[in-house]
Amino acid sequence: MAIVGRRQFISALGSVAATWPLVAHAQQVGGMRRIGVLGDIAADDPEYQARYAAFLQGLQELGWTDGRNVRIDARWAAGNAADTRKYAVELVALAPDVLLAAATNAAAALRQNTFSIPIVFAQVPDPIELGFVASLAHPGGNITGFTTFEPTIGGKWLQVLKELSPGINRVLLIFDPDNPSWIVYVRALEAAAISFGVRLSPAGIHDASEIERAITTFAGEANSGLIVLPGPVNTRHRDLIAGLAAQHRLAAIYPYRYFAAAGGLISYGPDPIDLFRRAASYVDRILKGEKPSDLPVQQPTKYELVVNLKTAKALGLTIPQSFLATADEVIE
């Protein structure tokens, strides 16, 4: 069990698709390859900086340095769905050798604009369900990458909430309806909710005011909990969400460690920084001539359980020592 500290990692279709092979060949002859990156959170967000630094370091370890033998064009939409779609068009028009989609909505937007330029996604929960790939082992088409969660993760989130607060019988789910991945999580949670004796209240949110309204309205009854689904809007407003959960004394579970670091009670999910580092290996292989259709979709190799003990005490929750012993990190 790691106490407080975590390794710090902030270092460093149409005509366009048809013309891409010719442009790409010209770029290769000139010696400078080109990568397009489409992200869903703000460029100045520390989490973005850590993920992008991991991707750049992964590339550098494989022999690719931005400005030397590869040019990287990055766009970051800061949780704005319209900007995600706009930037996808811009990046495809640049005709890069390969595109990195930093999240589900980015992958969907890029896929809508090209079926020929290779796309590597770094965070998609269920690419088969979302129609991105034919299978994990044989993706087919021009897209492959790294998944974030198995579909059964919803059951695990509910299980953890019930372990920490057994009396919970109603749970608010907040998600961004513009992010196509939400349906994957909600279906998994609905399938598991009956066995846990929990009634779910899904709430689509787009901004801070809708987040505040959804949580404040829901929190009026006892035995209530909160599950925060992955997505750029929730990531952008993680401090607000954690603060509202504490204010209304809601036991809450989050998908990534940085939510717990922002004051959230508990998080359970993969390490996105590791996914971005691994995504660099697929970008490298595509730049060296492999096809995305031949690169199997890979799943997370590790899930992190992080408990914010300070928040638990503020909520009046006693975390069993046996539960703490299973945590990867305890924030005190």
Q: Are residues 120 and 223 in the same domain?
A: no
Band (pLDDT 50/70/90 cuts) for residue 5 is: very low
Q: Are residues 112 and 253 in the same domain?
A: no
Q: Is the pLDDT of residue 2 over 80?
A: no
Neighbours of 325 (CB within 10 A): 9
Q: What is the pLDDT of residue 114?
A: 96
Q: What is the pLDDT of residue 8?
A: 35
Q: Are residues 170 and 209 in the same domain?
A: yes
Q: List pLDDT tens digits, range 289-331.
A: 999 999 999 998 888 999 999 999 999 899 989 999 999 999 9
Q: Is the pLDDT of residue 250 over 80?
A: yes
- Rg of the chain (C-alpha set): 20
For the chain, what percent of residues have pLDDT higher than 90?
Answer: 72
Measure the CA–CA gap between 190 and 170, rounded to whole angstroms: 12
DSSP 251-300: EEEESSHHHHHTT-SEEEEE-HHHHHHHHHHHHHHHHTT--GGGS--B--
Q: List pLDDT tens digits, range 147-172.
A: 988 767 888 999 999 998 999 999 99
> Structural domain of residue 85, as residue ranges?
2-148+272-301
Q: Is the pLDDT of residue 93 over 80?
A: yes
Q: Are residues 106 and 247 in the same domain?
A: no
Structure pTM? 0.83
Find the mean pLDDT for residues 107-126. Answer: 95
Q: Are residues 125 and 184 in the same domain?
A: no
Q: List pLDDT tens digits, range 55-88.
A: 999 999 999 999 999 999 999 998 888 999 999 9
Q: What is the pLDDT of residue 30?
A: 52
Q: Are residues 219 and 171 in the same domain?
A: yes
Overall number of domains in the chain: 2
Q: Are residues 178 and 203 in the same domain?
A: yes
Reduced to 3 states (helix: H, G, I; strand: E, B; else coil), residue 158 is helix
Q: Are residues 182 and 295 in the same domain?
A: no
Q: For residue 293, what is the domain's CATH number?
A: 3.40.50.2300
Q: Are residues 229 and 254 in the same domain?
A: yes
